[in-house]
Structure 1
Amino acid sequence: MLIVDDSVVARAVIARLIDASDRFSVVGAVGNVGAALEFLARATVDFILLDIEMPGVDGLTALPDLIAAGGGAKVIIVSSSVDNGGAATVQALAMGAAETLVKPTASELSARFGAALVAKLEKLCEHPGQLPPALVVRSTPSPLPGSYSPITQPAVSRSIGMPTTPLARRATGDDYDIVAIGASTGGIHALSRMFRELPSGFRLPIVITQHLPASFMPYFAAQMALLSGRVCEVAVDRLRIRPGRIVVAPGDAHLKCVRLSDGGAAFRLTHEAVASGCMPSVDPMLASLADVYGARVMAVVLSGMGRDGAEGARRIHDAGGCVVAQDQETSVVWGMPGAVVGSGVADAVLAPDAIGRLVASRRRA
């Protein structure tokens, strides 16, 4: 791997901690972005450890160029600037960083920090299998309907009961009524690519469960609003599902969809343990949407480690909905989408920009 850090001491200590792992090794350590680009022009690495605050070109500014020069290398931001909940963290992840880790002061670089860094590297090495050769991806995009009128915000109903039947299909000629997205490591970058393909007239509600701590969620929601050009809000209990909005799960609760007495739907926040061990988890979000919307759901599972979302995707599939998984080539970690593909419930396996075009078409894969 390559270390890019202007501190000579930090480069030496981090290299020693990594080399001590017996699994990873440092093949280059440079002090600025220019030297890093020169190194990557003649060498190949699997990981780039990148500091943000450096003289000349800073790490965030250089991130797109380093990702391109790295030829598939995963970039981990190792910097004191990526503190818990910091805007720089979400910005880095949205720009394509695979992970972030807070770098302590040079005097505090220790075996504990080294263990945390190696643990992140090990998780990013996860590759649970290849795409089954029999899977065929089909999609027939069609133009979006014309423009839509602004939607006023109805009052949130307090009369919430558990659904018994899916919401009735609307006579729109479209194939689904809501888009549900699950993601983890690498998901923010995939979301940014996906949202670039959605036109301003796309008004279907979008709900996202992204694995991030609660303190990150306001920054994440702001980033999604900026990328999508529409309102994005962190879910609160009993939040009504409305057209034209993006709702993201808070970092400390699951999202579950329930049916309202007036025929609409809302989210409840829950905190029960789930099989994946994630909080929030993609599985309860997808499973509850399958109960309420039935075949009218498009579920998208993006890059992330582990299997969260695989069971929920099966529920969507069994209810007649559409399930789309990110392809292995563009995933930072193909754990979550790979588990969906491996279970045989994916209707399409696509790169994020192609997923965005499919979602915009409002047609099934």
Structure 2
Amino acid sequence: MVPPAAPGAFPLARRGGATRILIVDDSAVARALIARQIEPHARFAVVGAVSHVDAALAFLASDRADIILLDVAMPGMDGITALPSLLAAGQGARIIIVSSSTPTGGAAAVQALAHGAADTLVKPRPQGLSDFAQALLHKLDALALSDERAAPLPSVPLLPIGHARPEIIAIGASTGGIHALAQLLAPLPATMTVPIVVTQHLPASFMPFFAAQLTAVARRPCDVAEDRMRVRPGRIIVAPGDAHITFIPLADGGAAIRLRHDRASSGCLPSVDPMFASIAEVWGTRAWGIVLTGMGRDGMEGARVLKAAGGTIIAQDRESSVVWGMPGAIVSNDLADIVLPPGAIGTMIITGAMA
């Protein structure tokens, strides 16, 4: 028996085995427009469309959704404020923010990603409907393919025996990575001086907001990388969004950033692979490479180089990943020294970097 629709919802057909989509938007026109882009595709089923957060919570109390498409500006609770409640009520549902309030590069988009949204998408306009539909289906497919979950791995934040204390930590991430980074960085004490470099797949226009978000979460300065910038203790450096981060050693024993714009084998710009390969050359056994949630396999080839140089490779576990593509490639190719959720990785960094 199909449960009754939540207040503000309209009942829609269900298909067995399809990825279940809940639309939350105060505009009836937007709800219908978004639903029309999804309904022709049998791998998805729009199981509900509601006009505000309370209605979405009521729906999730008696039904389930695999993916929630969430507006930001709505009567009552706004979408970003509602993210924690919807994530809890959704019990594993992924949330894509679909809103005019989250244009590419906007602070609201970075804030949404930091609060647990899996992705963001600008609400469609009539003249751009085809591009919107293509982008929406791409994002839905990526999240749907990551739905199978393995049993949680033991979260024991222990550094593998024989692995050196890090002098640099490099982190690569993509879809879901901003939230994972926040969980990883939050436990780190302000007294930790090991520098951290981050390649997160984001457009260049996001980077000032992204760096500000990491500064607040990690309680340490975060800079967007510039060519010849010195790697300094206690700071975070993020790839600029239109260049790869690599490193050169300095005569005084330090290191500096060199930005590259060539095409990486992964096709990503910025790419995790050249970052990992470069820290392998400069730091070798004294480098840690961490691969967090994300689509594709970026980071795998660089991790192979870093592991061969004696560095330590850490991957996010499948259970906590929004998309287990990048860390999954590390694990399936036997490159991971340890596999943990982000918070436990942060704890392991404390034990390993401050021992």
Residue from 251, 267, 280 that aligns with 2:257: 267
1:100 equivalent in alignment to 2:100: no
Q: Give the letter aligned to residue 27 of structure 1.
A: V
Residue from 72, 75, 80 that aligns with 1:52: 72
2:158 aligned residue: 140
2:35 aligned residue: 15
TM-superposition CA deviations, 1:94-127 (whole Å, max 9, x none): 111011000034x557343222211111122334
TM-score (ref. length: structure 2) = 0.89
2:23 aligned counterpart, secondary structure: strand
Task: Could you list the structure 1 runs, at least 4 aligned residues long, displaced by more than 3 angstroms after superposition.
Answer: 126-133, 135-141
Structure 1 residue 296: Cα displacement:
0.2
Residue-pair matches, total: 331
Residue from 271, 280, 288 that aligns with 1:281: 271
Backbone CA RMSD of aligned residues: 2.2
CA distance in 1, matches of 2:147, 2:333: 12
Structure 1 residue 137: Cα displacement:
8.0
1:26–1:227 distance in 2 versus 1, CA, 3 Å:
same
1:295 aligned residue: 285
1:78 aligned residue: 98
TM-superposition CA deviations, 1:167-214 (whole Å, max 9, x none): xxxxxx961111100000000000011111111211110000000000
2:8 aligned residue: none
1:245 aligned residue: 235
Residue from 291, 298, 301 that aligns with 1:311: 301
Residue from 220, 227, 231 that aligns with 1:230: 220
Residue from 40, 44, 61 that aligns with 2:81: 61
2:145 aligned counterpart, secondary structure: coil
Larger deviation: 310-319 or 52-61? Answer: 310-319
Structure 1 residue 241: Cα displacement:
0.7
CA distance in 2, matches of 1:280, 1:322: 22
TM-superposition CA deviations, 1:128-164 (whole Å, max 9, x none): 998799x9986437xxxxxxxxxxxxxxxxxxxxxxx
1:233–1:19 distance in 2 versus 1, CA, 3 Å:
same
1:90 equivalent in alignment to 2:110: yes
1:110–1:355 distance in 2 versus 1, CA, 3 Å:
same
CA distance in 2, matches of 1:22, 1:129: 19
1:340–1:238 distance in 2 versus 1, CA, 3 Å:
same
1:349 aligned residue: 339
Q: Give the letter aligned to residue 122 of structure 1.
A: D
Q: Greater relative contact order: 1 or 2 (C-alpha under 8 angstroms, separation 6 or more)?
A: 1
Residue from 325, 350, 353 that aligns with 1:360: 350
2:62 aligned residue: 42
CA distance in 1, matches of 2:145, 2:63: 23
Structure 1 residue 363: Cα displacement:
5.6
Larger deviation: 46-55 or 16-25? Answer: 16-25
Residue from 191, 204, 211 that aligns with 1:221: 211
Percent sequence identity over aligned pairs: 58
Structure 1 residue 262: Cα displacement:
2.1
1:257–1:48 distance in 2 versus 1, CA, 3 Å:
same
Structure 1 portions without partners, runs of 5+? 142-172
Q: Give the letter aligned to residue 297 of structure 2.
A: R
Contact 1:286 1:312 in 2 (8 A): yes
Structure 1 residue 20: Cα displacement:
1.5
Contact 1:126 1:334 in 2 (8 A): no
TM-score (ref. length: structure 1) = 0.86
1:208–1:326 distance in 2 versus 1, CA, 3 Å:
same
CA distance in 2, matches of 1:19, 1:315: 45
2:111 aligned counterpart, secondary structure: helix
1:356–1:136 distance in 2 versus 1, CA, 3 Å:
closer
TM-superposition CA deviations, 1:189-243 (whole Å, max 9, x none): 0001111111121111000000000000000000000000000000000011110
1:204 aligned residue: 194
1:102–1:9 distance in 2 versus 1, CA, 3 Å:
same
CA distance in 1, matches of 2:50, 2:147: 33
2:314 aligned residue: 324
1:90–1:270 distance in 2 versus 1, CA, 3 Å:
same
Structure 1 residue 64: Cα displacement:
0.8
